[in-house]
Structure 1
């Protein structure tokens, strides 16, 4: 039941990440223009490349190693040593870039440099490995709430863009800093072993390469939009990505909990139990993913009109396209981490991200100058489909295809389609907009979805109980 407790902790935080943007985004998009926010997002995407190098593949590798470690303190320090050195080198490289590149000399790039200090002291992977998600959740909750309160209190006009950027980053840094206090429960005084550090370095780099690849199609599109398009394109595309990422975090929160559990089961040679965990993940993911997709398509225009200001109405076109990323990212979250990484298939995982990354770069360079944020949106979906296809190919001999493609999936999609039809009929008959209309549509859709799953008997309660045990 520890998995369920951890998932509930993680899910409670993810629910918070849904609620807070619902409060802050309408406020922020009515203060800043799409160009203002696009400016911030563009430089943030550049800093992200340095952040990737700062963390290498420590987050995933560290979580897996801590989960299976007998001596947690020694394991931690010999992994953290790599993270600290990499972060220091990334910080030095970033300072050189800010000094030497003319366009990087602005105030926002300087403020964003604090992100690298945050990465240097980020030890969330220690708590994830120990399956202590309670502390991670509490830390993240305090940081998010403090940041939101400060934005509403201090950010009042478009001239406060620098302050807005600073508040977001400084609270994240403080959140990472305070995690070192409860870490004393797991780690002792620093002790390093050069042989162990060298031994850890190779698999960390193997996991780092997929992170670089992922960034090429998750972050580089914003960079290319800023270079080949405009800051306004970046701002519109980012808001669309942000809205779907809110939904994706609800789905991916289970993956963060399941990786250390599956790794632990495999270290104990319990392959059947690990397979059951993967099956449970697919069932739960699909129950969440498909109503999200069809529901967002149904209420897209009402939602965007209510949620965003006049400068961001074109976000609805982005949402119609990238909403399908929720499905493929959800599935690859299972295949990539619970199936491949948990079984040390790091090379296969790397290929599943590097190949689509290069495809993303080439396609974005071709389509962005002509289609702007629409081209970037289409490319992002194509790339996620490619990632899933490759990971499914490498997983085909590890798990049965029936774990995903089964009658339960058909029932879930059917229930979601009927939910979509119910919402569209309700919109046609009532023609409501605003908060009242949105709440009614969501209510009608939710009730229809639940009823249809009951009628179709999508969930076998006895089987779910067995999986949970």
Structure 2
């Protein structure tokens, strides 16, 4: 039951992260022009690389160590945080040098965004993830986001408020990170930076830091290359398609950070049978969600794009039809990478599974983007995720042999195919405005899929209830 609660805590925040920009964007774009928001976006992208250095690979590693060593929380926390603190000081120092030495960085927006480095340096959410206390993280994050958005509507009134706008975005994030240190005191005690003990954590953290660089490379570089090799219009279409697919992905990726501490804790106790059951439940939940969403989105794609994006972005439907298949690969790698390789200390293998596809994606972009534009970018994004999936499948093969996956997945694919076939046939008789079409197909598809799942006996409801209650 705790896993289910943590999943919904995490999912509720992820949904909020998606909804809030939809609310604020129309307001902000009517106050600031493209140049002003462009400056913010430009400097924000630069700061992202310094943030990457400041946080290292602490998040997943810290969660795993805390959850697997509940008797030495304070010692491990300060050992790991010593490295995060040192990396943050280094990152801030380099950023200051960057701002002082490079003329294009001498901008108030760049200076204000420097607070983001301080904020990330104080981020200890990994401690509470390791303790499986997602309630504190979610409540804090939601409160900070809502107060921040409210302050934007209250205080940002004209184009002269661009610096205030950037400041509000960063300061509330900083205050949110500071607030987490208050409940953390009962677990971590007084500060004691042990550099010698911290050294034992350095190698595994670096091994997880390198994949983060690789992931950042193939997640962000595609848009940069698309703009350079094709056109900014292609970037706009691809970016909107990517955002829509990422909204759907929040339903499946939210489970990864919830399951990591539980799996690490069970591995530390030596209960491999329970670990396999957890993996089985993860694959079951992911597959139950992924396949019907993929099938349903292919049905409503045209109508959804028409009412959600408007006339200028109608071509995004073609990119979405390709990129929707990323959901399967990302869903599985969320299990194989975060729930299997990392808890089993297979950090080297995790690094290989992300760095190799990142390098190959650059070459594929050079081939596909000049001729195919946003379609090429969509194809490369799917191929890259498929390669990550294939490599992780190879590295986790001996663990997956002990996990029952194929039987339930075959039934889920069949149920999704039945739903898709009926909905596809229904399109010949259902002709309403786009918004109503999406609602009708979503409800009808949900009913058909649920009936098919129950008929095929995909889920052993009694066993699933016992597993959820136990955890």
Q: TM-score, normalised by structure 2?
A: 0.90
Q: CA separation in 1, counterparts of 2:388 and 2:35?
A: 31
Q: CA separation in 2, counterparts of 1:97 and 1:428?
A: 60
Asked whether 1:4 is paired with 2:4, we answer yes
Q: Tell me how far 1:108 sits from its aligned partner.
A: 4.9
Q: Counterpart in 1 of 2:442?
A: 442
Alignment of 1:76-155 (within 5 A): 76-101=77-102, 103-105=104-106, 108-152=109-153
8 A Cα contact 1:123 1:179, kept in partner: yes
Asked whether 1:460 is paired with 2:460, we answer yes
- Stretch moving more, 110-119 or 227-236: 227-236
Q: Counterpart in 2 of 1:386?
A: 387
Partner SS state of residue 400, structure 2 = coil
Partner SS state of residue 342, structure 1 = coil
8 A Cα contact 1:341 1:349, kept in partner: yes
Asked whether 1:330 is paired with 2:334, we answer no
Q: Tell me how far 1:34 sits from its aligned partner.
A: 8.8
8 A Cα contact 1:26 1:308, kept in partner: no
- Shift of the 461–145 alpha-carbon distance from structure 1 to 2, 3 Å rule, reads same
Q: CA separation in 1, counterparts of 2:182 and 2:3?
A: 24
Partner SS state of residue 193, structure 2 = coil
Q: Tell me how far 1:422 sits from its aligned partner.
A: 3.7
- Shift of the 120–226 alpha-carbon distance from structure 1 to 2, 3 Å rule, reads farther
Residue deviations 1:65-85 (CA, integer Å, cap 9, x gap): 111221212211111111111
8 A Cα contact 1:229 1:368, kept in partner: yes
- Shift of the 28–231 alpha-carbon distance from structure 1 to 2, 3 Å rule, reads farther
Q: Counterpart in 2 of 1:211?
A: 212
8 A Cα contact 2:68 2:267, kept in partner: no
- Shift of the 372–8 alpha-carbon distance from structure 1 to 2, 3 Å rule, reads same
Partner SS state of residue 429, structure 1 = coil
Q: How many residues align?
A: 468
Q: Counterpart in 2 of 1:319?
A: 320
Partner SS state of residue 398, structure 2 = coil
Q: CA separation in 2, counterparts of 1:421 and 1:259?
A: 36
Alignment of 1:329-408 (within 5 A): 329-400=330-401, 403-404=404-405, 406-408=406-408
8 A Cα contact 1:42 1:223, kept in partner: no
The CA RMSD measured in Å over matched residues stands at 2.8
Q: CA separation in 2, counterparts of 1:46 and 1:156?
A: 27
Q: CA separation in 1, counterparts of 2:292 and 2:100?
A: 48
Q: Tell me how far 1:29 sits from its aligned partner.
A: 7.3
Q: Tell me how far 1:258 sits from its aligned partner.
A: 0.7
Q: Counterpart in 2 of 1:292?
A: 293
Q: CA separation in 1, counterparts of 2:368 and 2:33?
A: 25
Q: Counterpart in 2 of 1:73?
A: 74
8 A Cα contact 1:38 1:235, kept in partner: no
- Shift of the 454–273 alpha-carbon distance from structure 1 to 2, 3 Å rule, reads same
Unaligned ranges ≥5, structure 1: none
Q: CA separation in 2, counterparts of 1:289 and 1:326?
A: 6
